[in-house]
Amino acid sequence: MTSKNVAAVSAFIEGAPPGELADVVNDIKALTPEDRNILESARPAFKKYNEEQLTTVKLPGSSNSVLISQYNALDNERYYDVESQSSFAFDHVTQKASDVRSHVLESQHKDLITSLTRPLTTHAREHYPTSTHAIFPVPSSPSTLAILLTSSKYSPSNFWNGRLRTIYLYNASTSTLTGTLKCDVHYYEDGNVRLTTKKEVAETSIGGGGAAGEVIRVIARIEKAWQEELNRGFGRLSEGEFKSLRRQLPVTRQKVEWEKVGSYRAGKEIGGGRR
């Protein structure tokens, strides 16, 4: 095993489309049968992937999903969840949680987190039925909270998977909000098309004295405008670039039966036959 091999495997892992990490891992195993330790050597890439993708996991004995992110990370590959007041070990390679323990959040913003969670839950249920969200204090900034949401939809039988991620940083001292919105969709039936889009949210002041409800209302407006922008972009792609790539039907408005091309007039001319 060389550092070059580990770097290549790490790149594959970090670039895995949503919902397809297990497929990428199986492909890596098939391509490197002689090196059983290569996945373990690439563990940092798994960690980076899971934290950046806001991977969700269900704790043992629970039906609710919790988030994996840099904001709720503890030492020794452990993470915590505010709602269940627990911490847990997380294996980044297998994406499994274990060793659940009690963990009570100690933060000056504990009440604010509770106040923000209520309208955030309503917002998520209304717009993202299959989503997981959480709010964590930002360790590097005592006055800042990270408001996270991820929503995934997988349809491998129809050859497509997608994930939406939103990360907002709310500064309670200045009542300002910044954020990053990401969408990643992979379509792979008879081809391989992947759309990744990212929008940075500039610093936005929150009115109403920074009330929790107003924070979430601002987030809702930002996401509505972003989705409308995406819809317009998809329309332009459909009528522009994608349409120019699509093979047009012949004037007969029927598909060419290529196995019978010799019977067509053009086919005979190409082949030197008579008209």
pLDDT in tens, 59-110: 999 999 999 999 999 999 999 999 999 999 999 999 999 999 999 999 999 9
Pairing of strands 65-67, 96-102: unpaired
Spatial CA neighbour of 81 closest among 117, 53, 45: 117
Region 36-43 average pLDDT:
89
Lowest mean pLDDT among 47-56, 200-209, 262-271: 262-271
Instruction: Give the whole-angstrom CA distance, residue 123 versus residue 217.
Output: 9
Lowest mean pLDDT among 97-101, 173-177, 207-211: 207-211
For residue 267, is pLDDT > 50?
Answer: no
- Look at residue 101 in the predicted model and tell me its pLDDT: 97
Residue type for 40, please? E
Q: List C-alpha distances in Å: 179 to 92, 147, 198.
A: 26, 9, 11
Spatial CA neighbour of 88 closest among 70, 103, 100: 100
Residue 73: φ, ψ to 5°: -80, 140
Instruction: Give the whole-angstrom CA distance, residue 197 versus residue 191.
Output: 20
Spatial CA neighbour of 58 closest among 67, 70, 50: 67
Report whether 24 contacts 12 (CB < 8 A). Answer: yes
3-state secondary structure 138-191: ECCEEEEEEEEEEEEEEEHHHCEEEEEEEEEEEECCCCEEEEEEEEEEEECCCC
Instruction: Give the whole-angstrom CA distance, residue 104 versus residue 174.
Output: 27
Report whether 268 contacts 274 (CB < 8 A). Answer: yes
Which H helix or E strand runs over 217? helix 212-239
Spatial CA neighbour of 195 closest among 178, 204, 211, 183: 183
Lowest mean pLDDT among 32-46, 125-139, 150-164, 243-257: 243-257
3-state secondary structure 240-264: CHHHHHCCCCCCCCCCCCHHHHHHC
- Provide the mean pLDDT of the chain: 89
| Two structure tokens written together for 4 | 């070059």
206: β partners: none
Pairing of strands 56-58, 65-67: antiparallel
Residue type for 110, please? K
Spatial CA neighbour of 209 closest among 159, 246, 174, 251: 174
| Two structure tokens written together for 263 | 């019977």
Report whether 20 contacts 161 (CB < 8 A). Answer: yes
Lowest mean pLDDT among 67-71, 205-209, 214-218: 205-209
The band of 251, judged by pLDDT with boundaries at 50, 70 and 90, is low
